[in-house]
Structure 1
Amino acid sequence: MRGLPFRAVVPNAITAMVLCLGLTGVRFAIDGRFDVAIYAIVGAGVLDGLDGRIARLLKASTRFGAELDSLADNIAFGVSPALILFLWSLNEAPRFGWIASLALAVCCALRLARFNAQIDADDQPHKSAGFLTGVPAPTGAGLAFVPMYLAFVFEEPQFQAWYIVMPWVLFIALLMISSVATFSWSSVRVRRSWRLPALAGIGLLAAALLTMTFEALLLISAVYLGLLAFSMAAYRRVKQRRRAAAAD
């Protein structure tokens, strides 16, 4: 009878904006404005990183918000990137371009379903050690666009060829549903002596995203892919320490 407090509406409104930006990216792709389509998906990724934190900050976390967040992520980072890549390149594939696009969308949905199914699970080795299982949906969407970044940066048409884009899209789709341990924000620790350089680096990165968007996105993608080997090695060390502690 008293209605919902406004603080409970804010995070859900941000999640709805994520959904709208994802679909808007498809709209720009239909018009052939693929650079703007990427901007829309990147903007959705930024907002997706904020809605959960704002909900916890405002103490407005709800089951409804969690379900809405998963549905929005599936559309913004699964369906929309799949359609954008199909319109940009994969529609030129003789038979399997649409299959590759479907693989990206389906694997994103499966990754989100696995995440939701494990929320209340007691045994979560990756999460308990501060890692994620597989590549997160927003990160996977950003990585799937790497051929587009390369095409925009180097202005070379071969990066748009379906025989280059298709294997890459399938590789990213597999990474999303894989059991690879990936770093999460909770596992990142910055030493006190590196705090100011880290802040300066984040500021420079934000400036680069505004002035040299595709170059910055390409650099971020390369760094993330390079960190996968380190995250797997770090998790392997965590498992070894746990086994040693259990043996003792």
Structure 2
Amino acid sequence: MDENGGDRRSLPLVQLLPNIVTLLGLCAGLTSMRYAVAGSFEAAAGLLVLAALIDGIDGLLARKLNAASHFGAELDSLSDFVCFGVAPGVFVYIFVLQDWPGLGWLLVLVYVLCACLRLARFNVNRNAPPPPGRAHFVGVPAPAGAMLALLPIYLTLAGWLDLREIPVAAGIYVGAVGLLMISRLPTPSLKSVRIPRKRAVLVMVAMVVYAGALISRPWIVLALSDLAYLALLGWNSWRDRRKLA
């Protein structure tokens, strides 16, 4: 009890850990913009990938430590908007769209505003019952959208296609990614994945191989990952239309 009769119970540090991790992710997103402005594009891209990894860790920690809170949920949403809305948009504009400043910036705004709407919709529906069927997202999640938006950068850094020479294509693509985030497209969720015990070792080996490839050839692996994800979205869309036909 304090001198005014109030209860001064201290909050255990372990309960604050998920929020601290969220703030570290926010720092990564903000710092990526600093490096993008300075022209250190590889560092900027790496920090956004790090922010996406951290985004998965803070939620996992909150569940495992039973430390989920309304404050933490709002903090996570605000961090997501900066890391997966503002930062990728600014990065793509600086890297590939400066030679198309008018419509290029307009399409970046489309992406950022769609990320904002996506997160606002998620906040409103946070406590709503999950959609029927296998666990899935409605629309592309913000972290996945950010990684998709960076595909023009990955392709350029990998040496496959320099999209700085065709900024119109990059701008239209980024705007389209934004629209995917607010679409009604069913998007696979990792929660729907069930790994049999017999295959657990193989999955772990595959994850180690992927991590090794990501370290040694990051831009090629990230570009291929984005292309595979886009193919999966296309497959899901075609399958759903076929079911409705």
TM-score (ref. length: structure 2): 0.90
1:219 deviates by 1.4
Matched, 1:136 2:137: no
**1:84-123 to 2 correspondence within 5 Å?**
84-122=91-129
The 1-side partners of 2:165 and 2:51 are apart by 24
CA contact (8 A) 2:22 2:54 kept: yes
Deviations 1:189-241 (A, max 9, x none): 2234432222111110011111111011011111111111344467679x88x
For residue 29 of structure 1, give the secondary structure of its aligned residue in structure 2: helix
Q: Which range moves more in the overlay, 44-53 or 112-121? A: 112-121
1:96 deviates by 0.9
Q: Given the alignment, which residue of 141, 149, 152 partners 1:147?
A: 152
The 1-side partners of 2:153 and 2:190 are apart by 27
Match of 1:245 in 2: none
Q: Given the alignment, which residue of 36, 44, 55 partners 2:51?
A: 44
For residue 137 of structure 2, give the secondary structure of its aligned residue in structure 1: strand
Letter in 2 for 1:125: P
TM-score (ref. length: structure 1): 0.89
Matched, 1:54 2:61: yes
The 1-side partners of 2:76 and 2:24 are apart by 11
Matched, 1:82 2:86: no
Taking only aligned residues, the RMSD between alpha carbons, in angstroms, comes to 2.0
For residue 96 of structure 1, give the secondary structure of its aligned residue in structure 2: helix
Match of 1:190 in 2: 195
Query: Structure 1 pair 197/151, CA: closer, same or farther in 2 (3 Å)?
Result: same
CA contact (8 A) 1:150 1:159 kept: no
CA contact (8 A) 1:74 1:109 kept: yes
1:119 deviates by 1.4
CA contact (8 A) 1:131 1:187 kept: yes
Query: Structure 1 pair 129/99, CA: closer, same or farther in 2 (3 Å)?
Result: same
The 1-side partners of 2:110 and 2:195 are apart by 36
**1:159-174 to 2 correspondence within 5 Å?**
159-174=164-179
Matched, 1:221 2:231: no
CA contact (8 A) 1:21 1:40 kept: yes
Q: Given the alignment, which residue of 125, 129, 133 partners 2:131?
A: 125
The 1-side partners of 2:194 and 2:235 are apart by 14
Consecutive unaligned residues of structure 2, counting only runs of 5 or more, are: 1-7
Deviations 1:120-155 (A, max 9, x none): 224x425x6301011111110001111111111126
Kindly, what percent of the aligned residue pairs are identical?
38
The 1-side partners of 2:137 and 2:159 are apart by 33
Match of 1:243 in 2: none
Report how many residues are paired: 237
